[in-house]
Amino acid sequence: LERYPDTLLGSSERDFFYHPETQQYFFDRDPDIFRHILNFYRTGKLHYPRQECISAYDEELAFFGIIPEIIGDCCYEEYKDRRRENAERLQDDADTDHVPESSLPSMTARQRMWRAFENPHTSTLALVFYYVTGFFIAVSVIANVVETVPCGVSPGRIKELPCGERYAVAFFCLDTACVMIFTVEYLLRLLAAPSRYKFVRSVMSIIDVVAIMPYYIGLVMTDNEDVSGAFVTLRVFRVFRIFKFSRHSQGLRILGYTLKSCASELGFLLFSLTMAIIIFATVMYYAEKGSSASKFTSIPAAFWYTIVTMTTLG
């Protein structure tokens, strides 16, 4: 301990935690993180435990007077990444924190509107709008699925039609109502955003635009036969409306943060899987090369067989 006199355990400050009755030092701290601190005193190497909360880890280091800069090279980069991600997350949360009631009169109408969008529980009206938009998101996604289901043969026709074509007017009216709600929501958010430039470039803003874009383009393309095929392809973008749920679900936002924090690990997993696919596809191609009945005419032609075999049979 005396090797680190600038820390709590290496200085006389530890005497404040000494209990004469039990003749023990007692520190009411996190025992899971403390084992890493104890290892630091024993080995001189400080490591960052990936499974621990970065804020809790920083608090323990600060309590024991250990500076983060002495974290080992094997962990320091990951520690900095986690700390930066946590700082960004805290900043995002700070931008949408509840404002004390006493300060409400000083807020402008635009600030109140943005606060209502980001924190629906601040008022009854905001909560109602929150649930209404959530309901229409669900209706839109369900309608997008149901309209592809076969609905029988209509009078005067032989071929069975999907519900979207047999009840085209009903589905169009339903889609119109949903798009109107989404459009109003987007325009209000754009109007209330503290920084409109930053809002327009955000991921959720792009998802909102992509979700409503097929409807308006479809209105323009109605009488244009040359581009009608392109419109059918464009309708697939309506499925992006399902991502609007992420604005209404804390669990989905947490999942997004998790995927972002694990991006490097997922990238390495994808790289490893790609290497395995190339290796086994090459083996399959040369193993079947001498057979005239082989369907593996090239290494890329063996990719699909390799992918299916690896992902289904292991």
Flag whether 104 is in a domain: no
CATH for 277: 1.10.287.70
Residues 250-257, mean pLDDT to the nearest whole number: 74
Flag whether 107 is in a domain: no
Domain boundary among 92, 109, 143: 92
d(CA 200, CA 288): 53
With contact defined as beta carbons under 8 Å apart, do 53 and 86 qualify? no
Least confident window among 50-59, 248-257, 273-282: 248-257
Can you say whether residue 162 is alpha, beta or left, with left for phi > 0 and alpha for psi between -120 and 50 degrees?
Answer: beta
What is the domain count for the chain?
3
Flag whether 100 is in a domain: no
Flag whether 4 is in a domain: no
d(CA 275, CA 271): 6
* Beta carbons within 8 Å of 14's beta carbon, 6+ residues apart: 8, 25
Q: HEC string of 202-236?
A: CHHHHHHHHHHHHHHHHHHHCCCHHHHHHHHHHHH
Claim to verify: residue 241 and residue 144 sit in the same structural domain: yes
CATH for 44: 3.30.710.10
Domain boundary among 92, 111, 139: 92
Model confidence at 104, pLDDT cuts 50, 70, 90, reads: very low
| pLDDT given for residue 9 in this prediction | 87
d(CA 37, CA 42): 9
Claim to verify: residue 175 and residue 224 sit in the same structural domain: yes
Claim to verify: residue 297 and residue 227 sit in the same structural domain: no
What is the model's pTM?
0.53
Of the candidates 235, 231, 192, the one whose C-alpha atom is nearest the C-alpha of residue 212 is 235
Flag whether 140 is in a domain: yes
What are the Cα distances from residue 215, in Å, to 21, 146, 154, 165, 180?
77, 17, 26, 16, 10
Q: What is the pLDDT of residues 256-297, one digit of tens each?
A: 778 877 888 899 999 999 999 999 999 988 888 878 788 888
Q: Looking at the predicted structure, is the pLDDT value of residue 169 above 70? A: yes
Flag whether 3 is in a domain: no
- For 37, half-sphere exposure in the C-beta direction (CA atoms, 13 angstrom radius) is 26
Model confidence at 103, pLDDT cuts 50, 70, 90, reads: very low
* Beta carbons within 8 Å of 35's beta carbon, 6+ residues apart: none
Model confidence at 149, pLDDT cuts 50, 70, 90, reads: confident
Q: How many C-beta atoms surround the C-beta of residue 233 within 10 A?
A: 9
Claim to verify: residue 244 and residue 123 sit in the same structural domain: yes
Domain boundary among 248, 278, 302: 248
- Residue linked to tokens 């001498």: 290
Claim to verify: residue 125 and residue 226 sit in the same structural domain: yes
Claim to verify: residue 210 and residue 148 sit in the same structural domain: yes
Claim to verify: residue 137 and residue 209 sit in the same structural domain: yes
Claim to verify: residue 234 and residue 128 sit in the same structural domain: yes
What are the Cα distances from residue 134, in Å, to 77, 139, 202, 205, 245?
40, 9, 20, 16, 7
Flag whether 228 is in a domain: yes
Flag whether 106 is in a domain: no
Nearest-10 crossing angle of helices 124-146, 168-192 = 140
Claim to verify: residue 162 and residue 221 sit in the same structural domain: yes
- E-assigned strands of the chain? 18-19, 24-25
Claim to verify: residue 244 and residue 275 sit in the same structural domain: no
Q: Residue 213: which domain range? A: 119-248
Claim to verify: residue 164 and residue 219 sit in the same structural domain: yes
Tally of residues, the chain? 314
Claim to verify: residue 243 and residue 157 sit in the same structural domain: yes
CATH for 203: 1.20.120.350
